[in-house]
Amino acid sequence: MKPKILIIEDDRAIINLYKEVLPMAGLEIDILESGQEGTKRLEEIRQGKKERPDLILLDLILPDINGIEILKEARRYPETKNLKIYVLTNYYRPELSKELTREGADKILIKFKYSLKELVEIFKEGVKP
């Protein structure tokens, strides 16, 4: 059984890269392109309608809902509070990092600091039991 990664990302170029590279790395992916879709999926996971992913990759800057709100939503409920969530962003401020850590982000990754190969290895490590 392949590890499952839920990706909440709106950047089409990044989505296309993930679609091409992550399955070749042995990872099953599900991509949502808005914060609303992410919030709805969390609700479906809580209700047992959707399977829990092994890892969530969460973009911060989404067209409708800030990724921090999605992180807070996940941590608010017992059924989703222990989901592993890596925040990926190109937007960085030290205060933001502190807030994300306080809200329960498992990792904060600044996209431009990593090669695609490095990100894939980080994701593969993140889905290990």
- 12 contacts: CB under 8 Å, gap ≥ 6: none
Q: Whole-model pTM?
A: 0.95
The pLDDT score that the predictor gives to residue 33 is 96
Domain ranges (residues) in the chain: 4-126
* pLDDT tens digits, 42-60: 999 999 999 999 999 999 9
Q: What is the pLDDT of residues 73-111, one digit of tens each?
A: 999 999 999 999 999 988 878 888 999 999 999 999 998
Taking Cα atoms as reference points, which of 31, 37, 35, 39 lies closest to residue 13? Answer: 31
The answer to whether domain 4-126 has CATH 3.40.50.300 is no
The confidence score (pLDDT) of residue 129 equals: 77
CA atoms within 13 Å, Cβ hemisphere of 90: 6
